[in-house]
Structure 1
Amino acid sequence: MTTTTTRSPADVAISVAATIDDIFAMIDGWRDLLQSGLTSAGELTAETVDALSETFAVPAVTGETLLTGAGFVAAPGALSDAEWHLAWWLGTTGTPRTARRLATIDDPAHEQFRDYTALEWWRVPATTGARHLTGPYVDYVCTDDYTVTITTPVVLHGAMVGVVGADALVDRLERVLLPVLRAGETPVTLVNASGRVVTSTDARREPGSMLRDDGLTAAVRALSPEPVRLADGTVVLPCGDTSLALVVGR
């Protein structure tokens, strides 16, 4: 006889948080390394940030990991020898996995130059001074696939000199998170703070789609530390401090 054990929505939320928290903790460690190393280096140069970033980014995207990209993106004007600069590495899909440096165009006069400070993964941490999870979105810069990006500010002497972070493909996250969601008592959808679907046990809710109900969207965006029950019985549960939420019962 086979016994199936189901888990409460609260337990599912805890498991989701544990998975994402591991990535957060890794990125926080990278931030600390950069802040310490750049303080010791004195003058901030592209060579300095490249060397420091490579030490953590390459292992992060070549090991057994959910990550497909990692590195540091400098604030415009923060480096003495480069107005715009990305020190970012991408993991390959082969076996064994290797890493390659992301090729970028850093000349604002070039027709293909892209101002990354206008993008959410830069703009929100720069505004709030806090870690941010962006996506899922189609990452046309790196992967051309649905991606989640986590970034956190790097601060020296009270000023943000850039952000450090990582990319994870949504399909890789789904392989890890869907079994956790399916072990729950009821169908659930995992969304970000904007109400955008990360993954769901409901096949009709594709990653990247939005939850449109006004009451539901407001509850998700509020991200109360306690579960919120809506009038129709839908429950919104925070997944720790990941900025993600479980939508249960709809």
Structure 2
Amino acid sequence: MSTTLDLAAEHIARQVASTIEPALAMVEGWRGVLETELSGPFAGALGGSPDARAETLDPVIEALVGAELEREGALITGAGFVAAPGFLADAQWHLAWWLSSANTFGAAGAASLRRLDAVSDPDSEQFRDYTTLEWWRVPERTGRRHLTGPYVDYLCTDDYTVTITTPVFADGEMIGVVGADAYVARLEGELLPVLREWSGSGTLVNASGRILASNDSRRATGALLRIEGLAGALAPLHDERSTDPVQLPGGEFVVPCGDTTLALVAESPRPAGG
């Protein structure tokens, strides 16, 4: 690949990053607000402090995420806070999660912002232990922000989704995660015009090699992209370590998209008439 093509691929990767990074920064901003809020009346709440109650916390979360969810043109369709089990005195398990009017999950076309109706009774057959899910497990393990997906989110969207979560701490302990959901279809609408600027095959993948979007119709969203050497090239993204573009044995270039933990896999354009 020539220098000109290198620069073209890096330009596209930067455009992808500029689409995703505002949502990542927004979630990090929410984390900062919550850690400030929870360092006061909620401080030391693990173990069932009467100050840490869902009825008090929920309006704080709704005020924090509601305006962005209802902003015209917003990429996200759900957002909120998921509490660590036992953090809230009046709710052992609790999702303070709001859905925008664009999120049709269980709403039959609701026209306004609404609260996710989640099953929080562990004795119910419909209950799901969210601490086993990737968007919880990885931030809990690493203490850092994580982008999960694309995956089918049966909890909040029932559709292909990308979820951004970051841990929230009080008194040195993780008390939950704050995050946001975006429909993959909505992200594709923003990203495909960018990928189509690349005249070869251009595919956007997460750190595990799962396809988020591609200008190649043969590469389905959610499928794993299987190319020799790709897993090794993507490995640093699992730890959000920046890396330079890497050329794979087959000639493809893997170009990180900023700090999003996504990467562009760019194949050289075919010669005209080839």
Distance 1:78 1:96, change over 3 A: closer
Kindly indicate whether residue 84 of structure 2 is the aligned counterpart of residue 75 of structure 1.
yes
Written as runs of structure 1 = structure 2, the 5 A alignment for 1:128-167 is 128-167=142-181
Indicate which of 76, 94, 104 corresponds to 1:85: 94
What is the CA-CA distance between 1:56 and the residue it aligns to?
A: 2.1
TM-score where L is the length of structure 1: 0.93
- SS of residue in 1 equivalent to 2:39: helix
Q: CA RMSD in A?
A: 1.8
Written as runs of structure 1 = structure 2, the 5 A alignment for 1:103-122 is 103-122=117-136
Indicate which of 226, 237, 243 corresponds to 2:261: 243
Give the letter for the 1:228 counterpart.
V
Mapped contact 2:212–2:222 kept (Cα < 8 A)? yes
Instruction: Tell me how many residue pairs correspond in the alignment.
Output: 244
What is the CA-CA distance between 1:38 and the residue it aligns to?
A: 1.4
Kindly indicate whether residue 234 of structure 2 is the aligned counterpart of residue 225 of structure 1.
no
Structure 1 portions without partners, runs of 5+? 1-6
- SS of residue in 2 equivalent to 1:77: coil
Kindly indicate whether residue 76 of structure 2 is the aligned counterpart of residue 62 of structure 1.
no
Fraction of identical pairs, as percent: 56
Task: Give the stretch that moved more between structures: 170-179 or 218-227.
Answer: 218-227
What is the CA-CA distance between 1:183 and the residue it aligns to?
A: 1.5
- SS of residue in 2 equivalent to 1:206: coil
- SS of residue in 2 equivalent to 1:163: strand
Q: Deviations over 1:97-135 (max 9, x none)?
A: 521100011111111110000000011101110000000
- Work out the CA distance in 2 between the residues paired with 1:101 and 1:108: 20
- Work out the CA distance in 2 between the residues paired with 1:142 and 1:96: 14
What is the CA-CA distance between 1:157 and the residue it aligns to?
A: 1.0
Q: Deviations over 1:127-172 (max 9, x none)?
A: 1100000001111112211000000000111100000000000010
TM-score where L is the length of structure 2: 0.85
Mapped contact 1:147–1:168 kept (Cα < 8 A)? yes
